[in-house]
């Protein structure tokens, strides 16, 4: 059984997918119109859209498609960008905030259309709740629902008081929140595998187990080195997000990997009080908890942690403790799976999209909001290659500063900052 070498544990997703084709590794030199590094949602979505528009694309992935964040995440699509629309408005003005929100709405409908057009079953289930773990956040959620309807034309968000929240969650742990009926949650690995198949069917040349050891721009060409061959192309897309290491310094300075972990329970009884409506949930903690039920009624429960967890047993312990705080009745339920991955975050929690070398665009840093955005950024990249950069520009123009401290010192600095926020979650 294949176990991703970059996850500290096997995911329930890997065990619930019927067919995960493998792709060859690169052996020999290639030339192409576009070279893509990274086989997650960003890279594979770009490959599909490029290939469908007749562009010759070569994509390489260091491990297997979906071994990065895309195959192992919480599956929550969300609405808008990671930062709330009103926060964007305060900084960017209503016009730009609205443009970013509308783009994210398009990302959402694009994802659902894309899966329908390409016959990909993603176990889509509607409904998402964001809930307050402290009474002081309840008023913010109420105001948020009103602002979204009035200023951003989004009618699907409704405020929930503590009684409704308790009923919908099957838990009295939270104080209120919002219900979003205009979004939902999915099986991410099914989407990822389906996207790879669609890319291959459209004619993209896909390679797994092929790590790029360097990318450069030389004499008007983009050159990507791998251990067994060089790819030369007119344009390049770096889609390595939190997993890029030292591949390219500008991306590395702006996108920071943060570990996040998920545990799966066995299927719960059909009449379980846990999430009777089947919505996904995220909470107001800075070190956010996110959970939902799978198509076969398991509770998939995620929590970000500020320290690295390498041993799957530790994931089980941490996640079970968090589940029990919210659902004490599940205290004796053993988890069947525990796994983890890296979320790519940026300082202002906005996507990082930038031309980092001549004709090379880097995209990532969706800050925990990439399920719909990364797929859409792949499409916008293909639009850019076809000559229309207007919409990708909306992301490129966002102010995303580098993390202070450089590659060496930013982790300790972030650790301190996260520790402070984690402490604040508790008081
Ligand atoms: C545990 C977890 C839970 C999450 N939950 C949610 C959620 O509920 N909702 C949400 O919206 N987002 C969530 N996210 C974030 C979301 O998964 C990501 O934003 C999204 O998958 C990013 O896709 P990507 O293609 O940009 O990156 P990835 O999927 O990480 O793909 C990058 C790929 O690049 C490859 N790579 C790296 N370096 C090289 C190299 N040198 N050569 C070749 N290949 C290379 C990696 O192996 C990897 O496969 C979560 C992430 C994690 C880890």
Which residue has its alpha carbon closest to ligand 1 atom 53? 341
Residues composing the chain: 427
Q: How far is the CA of 241 from the centre of ligand 1 (A)?
A: 6
Output the six-digit token pair for 120.
């990909």
Nearest to 249 by CA among 399, 356, 163: 356
pLDDT tens-digit profile of 253-279? 999 998 899 999 999 999 999 999 999
- The reply to whether ligand 1 has any atom less than 6 angstroms from the CB of 60 is yes
pLDDT of residue 176: 98
Cβ-based neighbours of 168, under 8 Å, separated by 6 or more = 129, 160, 179, 275, 276, 277, 279
Rounded average pLDDT over 313-328: 92
Q: Do 58 and 233 meet the contact criterion of CB atoms below 8 Å apart?
A: yes
Q: How far is the CA of 119 from the centre of ligand 1 (A)?
A: 23
Which residue has its alpha carbon closest to ligand 1 atom 35? 38
pLDDT of residue 53: 97
- Tell me what the pLDDT averaged over the chain comes to: 94
pLDDT tens-digit profile of 74-100? 999 999 998 899 999 999 999 999 999
Which residue has its alpha carbon closest to ligand 1 atom 2? 73
Q: What DSSP line would sit under 85-111, residue for residue?
A: HHHHHHHH-HHHHHHHHHHHHHHHHHH
Q: Give 63 or 423, the one with higher predicted confidence.
A: 63
pLDDT tens-digit profile of 380-427? 999 999 999 999 999 999 999 998 876 666 666 666 666 666 666 666
- The reply to whether ligand 1 has any atom less than 6 angstroms from the CB of 183 is no
Output the six-digit token pair for 146.
């009103």
Q: How far is the CA of 342 from the centre of ligand 1 (A)?
A: 7
- The reply to whether ligand 1 has any atom less than 6 angstroms from the CB of 364 is yes
pLDDT of residue 406: 67
pLDDT of residue 169: 98
- The reply to whether ligand 1 has any atom less than 6 angstroms from the CB of 338 is no
Round to whole Å and give the CA distance between 305 and 341. 11
pLDDT tens-digit profile of 188-243? 999 999 999 999 999 999 999 999 999 999 999 999 999 999 999 999 999 999 99
pLDDT tens-digit profile of 335-385? 999 999 999 999 888 999 999 999 999 999 999 999 999 999 999 999 999
Which residue has its alpha carbon closest to ligand 1 atom 13? 368
């Amino acid at each position: 059984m294949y176990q991703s070498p970059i996850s500290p544990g096997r995911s329930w997703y890997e065990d619930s997918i019927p067919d995960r084709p493998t792709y060859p590794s690169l052996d020999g030199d290639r030339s192409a119109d576009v070279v893509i590094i990274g086989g997650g949602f960003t890279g594979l979505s770009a490959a599909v859209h490029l290939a469908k528009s007749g562009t010759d694309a070569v994509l390489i992935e260091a491990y297997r498609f979906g071994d990065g964040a895309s195959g192992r995440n919480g599956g929550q699509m969300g609405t808008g960008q990671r930062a709330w629309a009103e926060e964007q408005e305060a900084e960017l003005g209503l016009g730009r905030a609205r443009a970013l929100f509308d783009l994210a709405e398009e990302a959402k409908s694009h994802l659902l259309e894309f899966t329908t057009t390409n016959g990909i079953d993603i176990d889509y289930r509607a409904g998402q709740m964001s809930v307050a773990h402290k009474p002081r956040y309840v008023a913010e959620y109420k105001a948020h629902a009103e602002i979204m309807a009035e200023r951003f034309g989004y009618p699907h968000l409704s405020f929930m008081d503590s009684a409704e929240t308790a009923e919908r969650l099957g838990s009295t742990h939270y104080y209120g929140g919002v219900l979003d009926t205009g979004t939902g949650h999915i099986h991410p690995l099914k989407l990822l595998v389906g996207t790879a198949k669609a890319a291959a069917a459209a004619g993209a040349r896909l390679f797994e187990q092929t790590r790029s050891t360097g990318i450069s721009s030389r004499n008007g060409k983009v050159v990507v080195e791998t251990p067994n061959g060089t790819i030369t192309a007119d344009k390049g897309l770096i889609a390595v997000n939190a997993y890029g290491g030292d591949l390219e310094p500008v991306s590395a300075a702006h996108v920071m990997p943060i570990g996040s972990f998920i545990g799966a329970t066995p299927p719960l009884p059909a009449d379980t009080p846990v999430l009777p409506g089947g919505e996904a949930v995220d909470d107001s903690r800075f070190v956010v908890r996110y959970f939902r039920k799978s198509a076969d009624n398991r509770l998939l429960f995620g929590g970000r942690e500020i320290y690295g967890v390498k041993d799957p047993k530790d994931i089980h312990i941490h996640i079970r403790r968090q589940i029990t705080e919210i659902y004490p009745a599940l205290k004796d339920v053993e988890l069947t799976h525990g796994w983890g991955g890296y979320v790519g975050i940026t300082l202002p929690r906005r996507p990082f999209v930038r031309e980092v070398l001549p004709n090379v665009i880097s995209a990532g840093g969706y800050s925990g909001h990439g399920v719909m955005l990364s797929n859409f950024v792949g499409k916008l990249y293909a639009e850019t290659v076809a000559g229309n950069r207007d919409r990708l520009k909306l992301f490129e123009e966002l102010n995303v500063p580098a993390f202070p401290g450089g590659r060496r010192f930013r982790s300790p600095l972030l650790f301190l900052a996260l520790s402070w926020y984690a402490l604040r979650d508790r008081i």
